[in-house]
Structure 1
Amino acid sequence: MRLTVLGTGYLGAVHAACMADIGHEVLGADADAEKVAALAHRVPPFFEPGFRDVLTRALDSGHLRFTTSLAEAGRFGDVHFICVGTPQRADSWAADVGSVDAVVDVLAPVVRPGSLIVGKSTVPVGTTARLAERLRELAPASGTDIAWNPEFLREGHAVQDSLRPSRLVIGVRTDEAESTLRQLYAPLAAAGVRVIRTDPATAELAKVAANSFLATKISFINAMAEVCDAAGADVLTLADVLGSDPRIGRRSLTPGLGFGGSCLPKDVRALISRAEELGVAPAVALLRAVDEINARQRRRTVRLARHMLGGTFSGRGVAVLGAAFKPNSDDVRDSPALAVAAAMQSRGARVRVHDFEAVEPARRVLPSVDFTTDLAKACESAELVLHLTEWPQYGRIDPARLATLVRRPCLIDARNSLDLARWRSAGWTARALGRP
């Protein structure tokens, strides 16, 4: 099939390359000429394991190309995927769908009659119905249909989640739209991927509801970590006990610094905002607590760091391990690690941050902080080391060797993924949230 992908950021670029990789003819479109040029030259504008390989295969096969003309993209495809960003609005917790609306306004006059527009961006429930009305106003005779097909990509696993997703949700209004999307995704369905047909409103809710539930599990175990600190209990053992219950499960029950990134925080807030607009705010009151617990974890980590430094940050050298909001990514949007680093620096600490992939993006966010890809340099003469992003490489650090570089062998494992006994046996004073 001939597909267009409107927006070639993280979501759009991965979707375009993966759809071309399974055999479709794909045209990716974006107004950012620099991004389009980089993709066309096989240079990913972000770090994502495996993406460069699939991008190269798709371009070499001739199934994928890119353009800066949305009008050209509109004329090219039979199916048009909207993959633009929907960040949190500056003036509220609601999602900013301005880019989604703009894409529809450009597409409506130029798409071929009978085309299907498919949203993948994360939007407030009711968006498909609103855009369908907009299409009827702009192109009443085109017969263009609109559906919603939310993405469930995990950064660090985006290629896998595109080619072998846990499920495909297609929110459609007509049998014809369902038939088109089932044909498009036939190679994935043949490999055993479950395709779930819903109405568009349910599909729109699917992504924010899934992220809100994951956020709730994370904040719940982080709340228990604070209780464990007060009671002298061990939150990791508690998480194992809870996770052994098949109704609960162990995934997303790892206590620590909390969630960040471009999805969970803004999706939780967007669902709260939309529920308020719909007049059902009490139904999502729990999510306000989820958001507050998440923010509290960052403050708790800063307080613990100050305590381990004797009550003051002023002039103290601090090494931060990690800048990205999660491992296997260079994404620093709403990064808990950067939030903690900035808070310590604002209180007078001399902060040096290490990361394997996110140094340049992080430097653009916090230009006054010292960033490095040299782990030894990051830790040299530090009085406290904070482990804030769970890159697997940090788990392989030799604590005895690192102890020779720092001024004081003091560690906070804010991700609860290091072997504290190993660090303590090497002479470190090591703490973690929720563990004795």
Structure 2
Amino acid sequence: MKIAMVGSGYVGLVSGACFADFGHEVVCIDKDETKIQRLLHGMMPIYEPGLAELVESNVAARRLSFTTDLAEGIAGAQAIFIAVGTPSRRGDGHADLSYVYAVAQEVGEHLSNDAVIVTKSTVPVGTGDEVERILRECNPGHRFSVVSNPEFLREGAAIGDFKRPDRIVIGAEDDFGRSVMREVYRPLFLNESPILFVSRRSSELTKYAANAFLAVKITFINEMADLCEKVGGNVQDVARGIGLDNRIGSKFLHAGPGYGGSCFPKDTLALLKTAEDYDSPVRIVEAVVKVNDARKRAMGRKVVDALGGAEEARGKRVAMLGLTFKPNTDDMRDSPSIAIAQTLADAGVTVAAYDPEGMEQAQPLMPQVDMKQDPYAAIEGADAIVLVTEWDAFRALDLGRIKAIAKAPVLVDLRNVYKPEHLREAGFTYLSVGRGTSGKDNAASGEPAAETVPA
């Protein structure tokens, strides 16, 4: 089957490469000529483990190609995916659908055969109706079906998620759309991946509901972490205790500095706006958005407190390890590191930072931060170190070397990567998230949130 993927960003490129690997003929289309030229030369516009190799092998097999010419790219395609961005619209938080509608218009003007037009972009309820209206207005002469097929890819694990999905959600209104989509995903039948056919509007809402629910889980465990610090509990034990309940599950119960990235922040906002438009408020999600925004600044204040408080912190230096919102990506969108760095700057603290993949993306967003070539260069002379992103490269740092080059052995671990007893034995002042300072839990675990032990 020939598939056209309009949009060669994160979703479009990963999806296109994986479809090609299934054996389909895939053309990825993008208006950004520089991006297409880079792809033609094997240069990836994003960092995603395994993606470069997947693209290279399928280009070599002539199953994957790239173009800026939409008319040429969609010619003869039985499935045309719309995979362009839907960022939060400036000023009101609604999803900006201008790119989606522009693609629908152009596809309608150039469509020359029967095809299924698939919205892969994350879009609010009712977007498919408008896409269908645009297409019918532009091109009443061909049979087509508009289908919703949201993606559920985790950055850093997107290829595995695409090839071994928990589920495939397809919102289709007719047999033509359903039959073509069955053929698109036929290779996954071998993996017995569940395919859920629903209405188009249900599919559109499913994507937002899924991301909002995961954001709720993250925010809930972060609030439990704050409570643990007050009462002397250990949030990791609490998370295990509730996560072993099959009704709850263990995923997304890792306390940290708050969620970020390309999906959760914009999708929760878009869901709130949809609920507002339909006079059906989602109060839980409203609270989640507020709590998460406040948490990022609170983590910055946690570092200021580790420096001795607002008065003592001014003029000191902090090493920030990790900038991207999660490991194994270069994505800086709404990363907690941005708010943390700004909070430190507002307190008069200078920041040096290192991230294995994200510094090029981070520099324009935090020009006040001094980017370094490795973690130890960032740590040298630091009054405190804050671990923001749990890259594997930060899991086994040379503590002896850090003590020798840092001005003070203070580590604020916002991802709970290290065991407190190991840091205490190494002579560090160690602060983590949600591992309390008093009570029976603390006595059992031996995990004070902050303790200085002489070397």
Q: TM-score, normalised by structure 1?
A: 0.97
User: Equivalents in 2 of 1:400, 1:20: separation in Å?
Assistant: 48
Q: Aligned partner of 1:320: which letter?
A: M
| 1:332-351 equivalent positions in 2, closer than 5 A | 332-351=332-351
Matched, 1:97 2:97: yes
Contact 1:27 1:76 in 2 (8 A): no
User: Equivalents in 2 of 1:120, 1:372: separation in Å?
Assistant: 37
Match in the other structure for 1:145? 145
CA deviation map 1:275-330 (0-9, x unaligned) = 1111101xx11101111221222122122111111123321110001011100011
| 1:366-405 equivalent positions in 2, closer than 5 A | 366-405=366-405
Q: State, as a whole percentage, how many aligned pairs show the same letter.
A: 40
Match in the other structure for 1:242? 242
User: Equivalents in 1 of 2:287, 2:173: separation in Å?
Assistant: 35
Match in the other structure for 2:406? 406
Match in the other structure for 1:271? 271
Match in the other structure for 1:3? 3
Match in the other structure for 2:206? 206
Q: Aligned partner of 1:316: which letter?
A: K
- Shift, 1:388, TM fit: 0.4
User: Equivalents in 1 of 2:395, 2:187: separation in Å?
Assistant: 38
The 10-residue stretch of structure 1 (216-225 or 395-404) with the greater mean CA deviation from structure 2:
395-404
Q: Aligned partner of 1:272: which letter?
A: L
The 10-residue stretch of structure 1 (106-115 or 178-187) with the greater mean CA deviation from structure 2:
106-115
Contact 1:261 1:334 in 2 (8 A): yes
User: Equivalents in 2 of 1:210, 1:372: separation in Å?
Assistant: 37
Contact 2:351 2:368 in 1 (8 A): no
Contact 1:218 1:254 in 2 (8 A): yes
User: Equivalents in 1 of 2:66, 2:383: separation in Å?
Assistant: 49
Matched, 1:417 2:417: yes
Contact 2:304 2:347 in 1 (8 A): no
Match in the other structure for 2:13? 13
- Shift, 1:41, TM fit: 1.3
Match in the other structure for 1:296? 294
The 10-residue stretch of structure 1 (150-159 or 239-248) with the greater mean CA deviation from structure 2:
239-248
Match in the other structure for 2:284? 286
CA deviation map 1:220-254 (0-9, x unaligned) = 01111111122222211111111121111111111
Contact 1:222 1:293 in 2 (8 A): no
The 10-residue stretch of structure 1 (54-63 or 242-251) with the greater mean CA deviation from structure 2:
242-251
Contact 2:170 2:197 in 1 (8 A): yes
Match in the other structure for 1:168? 168
SS of the residue aligned with 1:154? coil
- Shift, 1:368, TM fit: 2.8
CA deviation map 1:10-55 (0-9, x unaligned) = 1111111111111111111101011101111111111100001100
- Shift, 1:76, TM fit: 4.0
- Shift, 1:143, TM fit: 2.0
After TM superposition, the runs of 4+ consecutive aligned structure 1 residues lying more than 4 A away are none
Contact 2:215 2:288 in 1 (8 A): yes
Contact 1:400 1:427 in 2 (8 A): no
- Shift, 1:274, TM fit: 0.4
User: Equivalents in 2 of 1:21, 1:43: separation in Å?
Assistant: 18
List runs of 5+ in structure 1 lacking aligned partners.
Answer: none
Contact 1:104 1:131 in 2 (8 A): yes
User: Equivalents in 2 of 1:352, 1:28: separation in Å?
Assistant: 39
- Shift, 1:80, TM fit: 0.3
SS of the residue aligned with 1:365? coil
Match in the other structure for 1:258? 258
User: Equivalents in 2 of 1:354, 1:418: separation in Å?
Assistant: 18
Q: TM-score, normalised by structure 2?
A: 0.93
- Shift, 1:401, TM fit: 2.4
SS of the residue aligned with 1:109? helix
Q: Aligned partner of 2:289: which letter?
A: D
Match in the other structure for 2:354? 354
- Shift, 1:159, TM fit: 0.9
- Shift, 1:367, TM fit: 2.4
Q: Aligned partner of 1:250: which letter?
A: S
Match in the other structure for 2:448? none
Output the aligned Cα RMSD: 1.2
Q: Aligned partner of 1:303: which letter?
A: R
- Shift, 1:354, TM fit: 0.8
Q: Aligned partner of 2:126: which letter?
A: G
Match in the other structure for 2:440? none
The 10-residue stretch of structure 1 (414-423 or 204-213) with the greater mean CA deviation from structure 2:
414-423
- Shift, 1:112, TM fit: 2.2
| 1:102-121 equivalent positions in 2, closer than 5 A | 102-121=102-121
Contact 2:7 2:82 in 1 (8 A): yes
List runs of 5+ in structure 2 lacking aligned partners.
Answer: 437-455
User: Equivalents in 2 of 1:275, 1:400: separation in Å?
Assistant: 53
User: Equivalents in 1 of 2:346, 2:45: separation in Å?
Assistant: 31
CA deviation map 1:119-159 (0-9, x unaligned) = 10000011111221222222122222110100001000111
CA deviation map 1:54-83 (0-9, x unaligned) = 000110000111111122223241210000
Matched, 1:316 2:316: yes
Q: Aligned partner of 2:288: which letter?
A: V
SS of the residue aligned with 1:92? coil
User: Equivalents in 2 of 1:240, 1:417: separation in Å?
Assistant: 16
CA deviation map 1:88-140 (0-9, x unaligned) = 11111211111000000000021123211001000001111122122222212
| 1:180-191 equivalent positions in 2, closer than 5 A | 180-191=180-191
